[in-house]
Structures are given as structure tokens and as C-alpha cells.
Amino acid sequence: MTVTLNKNVCDKKPSCMMVTLCPASAISIRPGEYPTIDSEACLDCGKCVAACPHQALTIA
């Protein structure tokens, strides 16, 4: 499975809670940029998908 980011919905906030929520530290973000997801580190647990307030993440 893969977590995907919908850039049309993401607000690119540097304080994105998904970064700290991810148990594998697979999500990172730089100011002014979209979050990046390290697919090799990602556990496919879905915690980020469930918690994103903008529903910008999906898992398939």
C-alpha cells in the first residue's frame, strides 16, 4: 500500500501534525513546501490518513 498526498487540498503548514504523528517518522516537511512521505519508511498504518484535518492523504 502507498500513502499519497493530494496537493490540491494540503495547506503546506510547517506545523503539520502528521510529521509528529507518524510512528515511523516517514513524513517530513520544509517551510513553504508540501510534506514528503518516505514510502520505504512508511508502515502503512494509516494514522496520518485518519488524522489529517484536510483529508489530503489517502492510502491505497
pLDDT value for 14: 84
Q: Which secondary structure element, helix H or strand E, spans residue 50, and what is its range?
A: helix 47-51
Q: Average pLDDT for residues 10-35, to the nearest whole number?
A: 92
pLDDT value for 58: 95
The residue with greater pLDDT, 39 or 1, is 39
In the predicted model, what is the mean pLDDT of the chain? 93
Q: Is 56 buried (19+), middle (13-18) or exposed (0-12) by CB count in 10 A?
A: buried
Topology of the domain comprising 3-59: Alpha-Beta Plaits (3.30.70)
**Domain boundaries along the sequence of the chain:** 3-59
